[in-house]
Structure formats: C-alpha cells, structure tokens
C-alpha cells in the first residue's frame, strides 16, 4: 500500500513551481476560443488545509507558498496562480488556510465548455477528491492507477488540452512508468501538452529520466527546474522540475523570467539554482 500523502507537503516549493507553471499553461490554452480537456493522472485530494495536523507537522508550506505570499513584488506572470489561491481563501479574512492541488488550479481557471478528468489511487485521498468534485459536471473523477487509466482517456473527445503526470515517485518504478505512459499517450494524441513533474532527490535519477524521455523520439521538450539547495547536499528534497512536451507559444520565454524570481524567494541556502532549457527542439 502506498503511504505517500500530499497533505504533508502541500504548498511546498515544488508545488509553487508546478502550480505556477500549470496556471500559465492553462491561461495559454484559453487564448483560443475552442475548449480544452485537462487530465491529471495523480490528482491527490484536490485541495489541502494548511491548518491541518498533517500540514502543521512538516510546515513545508512555510518555505513555499508562504514566502511567495509575503512578497509585494510578485511578477505579473504569477497572477493566474495567485488568483486561484486568493479565490480559494475568500471568507477567511485574507488568511491563507487552503491550498489548491493541481486539479483545483485547473478547475478554477476553466471556462464553461472546458473539461477536467482526474485520477487518484490512494484510498484516503480518492474519497476526498470525489467529494471535492463529485457534483461538478465539468469534472470526471476516476479511482485507480492514473497511468493505467490514461490508456482509455487519450485522445479525449475535446482534442485540445493537456496531461499532467505527477506521481510521488515513492516507488522507483514510477520513473519508468511515467516515460512509458508518455510514449503510449503521445502515439495516440501527439498534439496534446504533456507535463511531467519530477523531484530532485539524486541528480543521477533526474539525468536518467531525462535520457529516457529524450529516447522516446518525441520533439519539443522543454525543461524547467528549480532547486533550493546544492545537488550534493545530504538528504532531503533538493528541488523539482518539469518536462513539458508541446509547450504553448512563448512559455519558454515566460519561464526564463519567472524562475529566477521564484529562485530568489525560495532558495534560503543560496546554493540552489533555476534553469529553463530545451532538451529537444522542433
């Protein structure tokens, strides 16, 4: 049985990176009038209470979203992301109690004709996810392994959209499974935007993941990575990154502006780094 629960980690620095970039991608999809479909293979609970025992136990959000919200110089590129957080916390006197998971970020930015499909396997988080979106006609909730379910979800009826694959990597096989899922889905839906999130725990694992993704032969792969400590620091989550296939126009330019600011705010050690680069071009 998987033990990972994101409630202990909600709002941490990897969440800030993942969700701020996800919000930019959704905003870009909305530039066209035609609707889109978003698929989240590992959706978690949907939203998280930062007053909860789990969140308070680790306090990871204090080194993530709290540091962002304390700033008065946030760049315009963060507006879609921060707007979701503000709306989610309306009625709490301006306090920061709730943090949106990936599906809540997407849902908050959707238009009436857009659709969201979410998958979750964990027996604790899946009922919470179903409760979060159970009565929402624009959201379909699936219980089960997101990688396996993805085979029947692409291509979606709405042929524009994105797939977010963000497993916990609690089991090492996730590194292979995410590449296999990408390759299989891409064969059937080559025009979709694919976002693979990964943790930076050991540089060797990241390098191997990148190598395997490149070896699929897929073109247009953009990498965005943010670390808050040196690669050779002992233990702990050093940072995270995203591999984005078919990124929206000018996303690389926007991320080259956004990530240095995020790095300045989130890297308390001064030993991390932020980078955006094309692993594979056109």
> Known catalytic residue: 166?
yes
For residue 2, what pLDDT is reported?
Answer: 58
For residue 226, what pLDDT is reported?
Answer: 99
> Is 249 inside any structural domain?
yes
- Edge-to-edge strand list for the sheet holding 239-245: 139-143, 115-120, 37-40, 161-165, 193-200, 239-245, 221-227, 274-280
Q: What is the pLDDT along the chain (282 residues), one digit of tens a residue?
A: 456 688 899 999 999 999 999 999 999 999 999 999 999 999 999 999 999 999 999 999 999 999 999 999 999 999 999 999 999 999 776 678 999 999 999 999 999 999 999 999 999 999 999 999 989 999 999 999 999 999 999 999 999 999 999 999 989 999 999 999 999 999 999 999 999 999 999 999 999 999 999 999 999 999 999 999 999 998 789 999 999 999 999 999 999 999 999 999 999 999 999 999 999 998
- Total domains, the chain: 1
Cα 96 from Cα 68, distance rounded (Å): 12
> Is 1 inside any structural domain?
no
Catalytic residue among 40, 114, 166, 254: 166
Strands 161-165 and 98-100: unpaired
Cα 258 from Cα 168, distance rounded (Å): 25
For residue 160, what pLDDT is reported?
Answer: 98
For residue 1, what pLDDT is reported?
Answer: 44
> Is 92 inside any structural domain?
yes
DSSP H helices in the chain: 13-29, 53-58, 65-69, 79-88, 102-109, 125-133, 146-150, 173-188, 203-214, 251-266
Cα 127 from Cα 143, distance rounded (Å): 9
Of 191, 164, 160, the C-alpha closest to 178 is 164
Cα 274 from Cα 265, distance rounded (Å): 11
Indicate yes or no: pTM above 0.95: yes
For residue 217, what pLDDT is reported?
Answer: 98
> Is 210 inside any structural domain?
yes
CA torsion through residues 267, 231, 41, 185, sign: positive
Cα 164 from Cα 101, distance rounded (Å): 12
Cα 45 from Cα 43, distance rounded (Å): 7
The SS3 call for residue 139 is: strand
Of 105, 110, 101, 117, the C-alpha closest to 44 is 101
> Is 15 inside any structural domain?
yes
DSSP state, 171? S
For residue 210, what pLDDT is reported?
Answer: 98
> Is 240 inside any structural domain?
yes
What tokens does 42 get?
């590992």
> Is 24 inside any structural domain?
yes
Domain of 108 in residue numbering reads as 6-280
Q: Identify the CATH number of the domain in which residue 244 sits.
A: 3.40.50.150
> Is 247 inside any structural domain?
yes
Q: How far is CA 93 from CA 56, 191, 271, in A?
A: 20, 43, 36
For residue 92, what pLDDT is reported?
Answer: 74
Q: In sequence order, what are the residues at sequence separation of 6 or more whose Cβ sits closer than 8 angstroms to the Cβ of residue 148?
A: none
């Amino acid at each position: 049985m998987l033990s990972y629960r994101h409630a202990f980690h909600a709002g941490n620095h990897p969440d800030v990176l993942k969700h701020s970039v996800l919000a930019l991608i959704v905003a870009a999809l909305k530039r066209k009038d035609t609707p889109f479909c978003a698929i989240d293979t590992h959706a978690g609970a949907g939203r998280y209470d930062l007053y909860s025992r789990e969140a308070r136990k680790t306090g990871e959000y204090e080194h993530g979203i709290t540091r962002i919200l304390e700033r008065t110089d946030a760049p315009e590129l963060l507006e879609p992301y921060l707007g979701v957080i503000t709306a989610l916390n309306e009625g709490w006197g301006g306090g920061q109690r709730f943090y949106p998971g990936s599906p809540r970020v997407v849902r908050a930015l959707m238009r009436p004709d857009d659709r969201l499909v979410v998958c979750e396997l964990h027996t604790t988080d899946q009922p919470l996810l179903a409760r979060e979106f159970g009565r929402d006609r624009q959201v379909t909730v699936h219980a089960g392994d997101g990688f396996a379910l993805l085979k029947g979800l692409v291509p979606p009826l709405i042929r524009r959209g994105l797939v977010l694959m963000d497993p916990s990597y609690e089991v090492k096989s996730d590194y292979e499974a995410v590449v296999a899922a990408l390759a299989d889905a891409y064969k059937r839906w080559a025009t979709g935007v694919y976002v693979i999130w990964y943790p930076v725990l050991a540089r060797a694992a990241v390098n191997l993941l990148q190598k395997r993704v490149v070896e699929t032969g897929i073109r247009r792969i953009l990498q965005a990575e943010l670390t808050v400590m040196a690669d050779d620091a002992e233990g702990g989550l050093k940072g995270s990154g995203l591999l984005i296939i078919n990124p929206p126009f000018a996303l690389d330019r926007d991320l080259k502006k956004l990530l240095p600011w995020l790095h300045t705010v989130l890297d308390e050690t001064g030993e991390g780094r932020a980078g955006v680069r094309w692993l594979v071009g056109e």
